[in-house]
């Protein structure tokens, strides 16, 4: 800590483009007036937020973990941007339009709360750089309270920009940073801070579009026994390369320093925020975060196959959610694809049965055994456009720590000496949906093998 004043000066020089600022406001203890009823569009001036680049001056490791995470990319993510533009097109119903315009509230939260962009159809090329950083450091660390547990109900208390950075809320109750003030926030240690964005309701129809937080809340991980309780942070902020930190793998502490110069602590929460998306972060950061997503997926579920009734042309496959703190898949459960690929080869190696095999156009056959949510138009017809989702038609995703068994009827007994191979596969979006989006075709998304079993008959 001996040279912290020198460091602050260096940082301030960087952030103010070479102009050194007076040190006085840095150490003052200003009180900010908070009006929690004005947490809506344009409630806060953009100048009050600080770029994540500034935080990286001292928190360089945390910054590198967060950089190119799906939180950093939430606004720039080409899949999200093209899907949201596509869904907005051609709508005429007022309430459907309201939903299709609302995406920026979570994907560009600094922009939304500071007044631009207000909606998906704004000229997004004019998005200020700080807002284009998606869910960035100062956004999460200015949050101190929640007003509603869905559609981003965070209440914020940012400082006044770089020359008066204000309070950063976090898990430590004993820290004395130099640049900014710090305050212990119990909220940051709870699933609720994640859940307010990870539960999404249709803004007009109230349909549950994403329910990750509710799924966790109803799971055994939300236990009153501290030995069994695991918050979102307990899995997603313990992961680092080689340590997937799921419900079925160890979640060891990560000793280290929160900055480049402060004392070591027993655990520093990692900021990779890896989920299941291997395609998007992998593209931006040269694979590391993509590989971590694969590692997470490979420690999420187990498979077993029962061939005892195969002579009667029946096969039973059981999938167990052993590692996720919510359903598999979770999040955008209508888009994520988790399915069973089954192949039976006879003794001579000839295919006797197949299901769930992608065709050469990367399309999944209609009869594939898939775990997903299907939305409806209110009259029982499935819809692809979230904006039209008036009901949940079906949801057969696998809940935390639960098993689902599928019985498959075979056309014939494949014969003695045949081999049954079952794979559980993941893809973050159907090719069918990608094909609908006008413009440059998307590269096919990676298919990740979550689990595999093989059995000889
Ligand atoms: C000049 C260096 C410096 C800069 C720049 C900086 N911090 Fe810090 N920050 C620290 C130090 C030092 C600590 C205390 C670390 C410790 O005690 O282990 C800290 C602690 C924190 C904490 C923990 C607070 C708590 O009570 O749990 C958070 C959160 C935080 N910083 C967020 C940020 C954010 C967000 C930014 C950018 C807007 C930022 N910091 C910029 C030096 C800095
Ligand atoms: C999605 C919200 C979110 C974002 C974005 C985010 N953090 Fe955090 N951060 C948290 C939470 C939550 C914790 C505490 C976890 C706990 O205690 O369970 C935390 C902890 C910290 C801490 C305390 C030390 C530690 O890691 O244990 C620091 C410092 C910090 N964050 C800095 C940053 C910086 C710098 C950035 C941007 C590069 C950033 N955070 C981005 C949510 C976020
Ligand atoms: C301000 C809203 C917001 C908050 C708060 C938030 N998230 Fe997110 N999170 C998002 C959005 C939006 C995305 C998706 C971005 C995309 O895919 O384009 C996302 C993506 C993720 C992903 C990656 C998903 C994937 O498919 O790979 C993980 C993991 C994640 N969040 C975990 C967390 C955790 C843990 C917390 C709490 C510490 C948290 N989030 C807090 C909005 C938020
Ligand atoms: C017990 C460990 C564990 C806990 C607790 C946990 N997760 Fe996860 N999470 C996982 C695993 C494993 C995966 C990969 C499998 C999957 O996609 O479901 C995952 C995937 C995700 C994804 C990507 C989903 C997809 O398929 O696109 C998001 C988003 C996410 N988690 C958010 C959260 C949030 C928010 C919480 C807290 C409400 C949370 N997680 C709690 C283990 C956990
Ligand atoms: C309340 C917060 C919230 C709102 C509002 C929201 N999203 Fe998201 N979005 C998320 C979260 C959280 C994830 C990550 C879930 C996951 O990984 O499965 C996500 C992920 C996505 C993804 C997956 C991106 C990828 O790379 O695979 C798409 C596409 C998406 N959202 C589209 C939209 C559209 C379109 C809208 C507006 C109609 C919207 N979102 C509104 C929170 C939100």
What percentage of the chain exceeds 90 in pLDDT?
88
Pocket test for ligand 2, best of 50, 57, 62, 226 (most atoms within 8 A of CB): 62
Q: What is the pLDDT of residues 131-189, one digit of tens each?
A: 999 999 999 999 999 999 999 999 999 999 999 999 999 999 999 999 999 999 999 99
Phi, psi values for residue 199, rounded to 5°: -125, 120
pLDDT, tens digit (0-9, with 9 covering 90-100), for 304-318: 999 999 999 999 999
pLDDT in the model for residue 324: 98
Name residues whose C-beta falls within 8 Å of residue 340's C-beta, 6 or more positions apart in sequence. 317, 319, 355, 356, 368, 369, 370, 406, 422, 423, 424, 425
Answer yes or no: are the C-beta atoms of 297 and 279 closer than 8 Å. no
Determine the pLDDT at residue 40: 67
Q: Please, what is the average pLDDT of the chain?
A: 91
Beta partners for residue 392, in sequence order: 375
In 333-447, beta strands by DSSP E: 337-345, 351-355, 369-371, 373-376, 382-383, 391-395, 403-409, 419-427
Q: Closest Cα partner for 392 from 216, 202, 213, 151? A: 202
- Ligand 2, closest atom to CA 65? 38
Report the range out of 17-21, 157-161, 439-443 with the highest average pLDDT.
157-161
For 338, residues 6+ apart whose C-beta sits below 8 A from its C-beta are 328, 329, 370, 371, 372, 397, 398, 424, 425, 426, 450
Where do the domains of the chain lie? 26-294, 300-456
The β-bridge partners of 455 are 420
Q: How would you classify the pairing of strands 373-376 and 391-395?
A: antiparallel
Between residues 35 and 90, the one the model is more confident about: 90
Query: What does the alpha-carbon distance between residue 265 and residue 249 come to, in Å, rounded to a whole number?
Result: 23
| pLDDT score recorded for residue 39 | 56
Taking Cα atoms as reference points, which of 74, 88, 40 lies closest to residue 198? 74
Whether the CB of 282 sits within 6 Å of ligand 4: no
Number of the ligand 1 atom closest to the C-alpha atom of 51: 38
The verdict on the CB of residue 324 being under 6 Å from ligand 5 is: no
> Comparing 302 with 40, which gets the higher pLDDT?
302
The pLDDT assigned to 421 comes to 98
Each residue of 376-412: pLDDT tens digit?
Answer: 999 999 999 999 999 999 999 999 999 999 999 999 9
Q: Is the CB of 245 under 6 A from ligand 3?
A: no
Q: Which residues contact 184 (CB under 8 A, 6 or more apart)?
A: 169, 170, 171, 172, 173
> Average pLDDT, stretch 268-273?
98
Nearest-CA residue for atom 6 of ligand 4:
325
> In the prediction, which pLDDT does 31 show?
37
Determine the Cα–Cα distance for residues 295 and 240; give it in Å rounded to an integer: 10
CA of 380 to the centre of ligand 1 (A): 51
How far is the CA of 366 from the CAs of 1, 145, 374, 444, in angstroms? 62, 45, 14, 18
pLDDT (mean) for 24-45: 51
Q: Closest Cα to residue 428, out of 331, 358, 337, 297? A: 337
pLDDT of residue 287: 81
Render pLDDT for 93-116 as a digit per residue (tens, 0 to 9). 999 999 999 999 999 999 999 999
Please report which helix (H) or strand (E) contains residue 209, including its range.
Answer: strand 208-211
Q: What is the mean pLDDT of residues 355-364?
A: 97
Interval 188-241: pLDDT, tens: 999 999 999 999 999 999 999 999 999 999 999 999 999 999 999 999 999 999
Judge if the beta carbon of residue 172 lies within 6 A of ligand 1: yes
pLDDT(34) > 50: no
Segment holding 94, helix H or strand E: helix 94-101
Average of per-residue pLDDT across 39-46: 79
Atom of ligand 4 nearest to the CA of 247: 1
Report the percent of the chain where pLDDT is more than 70.
91
pLDDT at position 284 is: 84
- Farthest-apart Cα atoms in the chain, separation: 83
Give me the pLDDT at residue 23, please.
Answer: 35
Ligand 4 centre distance from Cα of residue 346 (Å): 38
- Is a pLDDT exceeding 70 seen at residue 2? no
Whether 138 is in the pocket of ligand 1, judged by its Cβ within 6 Å, is yes
Residue 101: burial class (beta carbons within 10 Å; 0-12, 13-18, 19+): buried
Please count the other Cβ atoms lying within 10 Å of the Cβ belonging to residue 184.
14
pLDDT > 90? residue 335: yes
- Compute the distance between CA of residue 76 and CA of residue 127 in angstroms, rounded to an integer: 11
3-state secondary structure of 227: coil
Contact 419, 332 (CB under 8 A): no
């Amino acid at each position: 800590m001996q040279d912290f004043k020198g460091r602050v000066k260096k940082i301030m020089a960087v952030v103010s483009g070479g102009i050194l600022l007076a040190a006085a406001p840095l150490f003052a203890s200003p009180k900010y007036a908070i009006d929690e009823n004005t947490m809506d569009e344009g409630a806060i001036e953009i100048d009050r937020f600080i770029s994540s680049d500034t935080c990286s001056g001292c928190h360089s490791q945390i910054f590198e973990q967060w950089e190119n995470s799906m939180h950093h990319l939430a606004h720039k993510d080409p899949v999200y941007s093209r899907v949201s533009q596509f869904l907005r097109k051609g709508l005429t119903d007022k309430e459907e339009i309201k939903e299709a315009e609302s995406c920026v509230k979570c994907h560009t939260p600094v922009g939304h709360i500071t007044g631009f962009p207000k909606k998906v159809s704004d000229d997004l090329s004019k998005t200020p750089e700080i807002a284009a950083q998606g869910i960035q450091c100062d956004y999460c660390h200015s949050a101190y309270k929640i007003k509603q547990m869905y559609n981003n109900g965070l209440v914020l208390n940012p400082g006044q920009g770089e020359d008066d950075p204000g309070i950063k809320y976090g898990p430590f109750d004993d820290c004395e940073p130099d640049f900014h003030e710090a305050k212990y926030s119990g909220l940051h240690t709870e699933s609720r801070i994640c859940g307010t964005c990870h539960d999404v309701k249709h803004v007009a129809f109230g349909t549950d579009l994403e329910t990750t937080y509710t799924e966790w809340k109803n799971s055994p991980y939300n236990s009153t026994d501290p030995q069994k309780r695991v918050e979102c942070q307990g899995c997603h902020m313990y992961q680092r390369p080689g340590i997937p930190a799921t419900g079925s793998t160890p979640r060891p502490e990560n000793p280290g320093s929160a900055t480049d110069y402060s004392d070591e602590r027993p655990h520093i929460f990692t900021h990779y925020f890896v989920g299941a998306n291997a395609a998007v972060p992998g593209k931006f950061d040269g694979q590391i975060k993509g590989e971590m997503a694969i590692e997470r997926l490979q420690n999420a579920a187990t498979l077993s196959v029962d061939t005892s009734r195969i002579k009667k042309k029946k096969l039973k496959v059981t999938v167990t959610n052993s590692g996720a703190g919510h359903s598999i898949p979770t999040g955008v459960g209508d888009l994520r694809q988790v399915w069973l690929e089954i192949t039976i080869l006879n003794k001579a190696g000839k295919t006797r049965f197949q299901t769930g095999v992608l065709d050469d156009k990367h399309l999944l056959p209609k009869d594939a055994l898939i775990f997903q949510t299907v939305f409806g138009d209110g009259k029982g017809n499935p819809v692809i456009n979230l904006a039209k989702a008036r009901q949940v038609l079906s949801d057969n995703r696998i809940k935390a720590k639960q098993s689902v068994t599928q019985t498959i009827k075979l056309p014939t007994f494949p014969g003695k000496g045949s081999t049954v191979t079952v794979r559980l596969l993941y893809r973050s979006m159907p090719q069918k949906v990608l094909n609908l989006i006008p413009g440059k075709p998307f590269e096919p998304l990676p298919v990740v093998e979550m689990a595999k079993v093989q059995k000889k008959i």
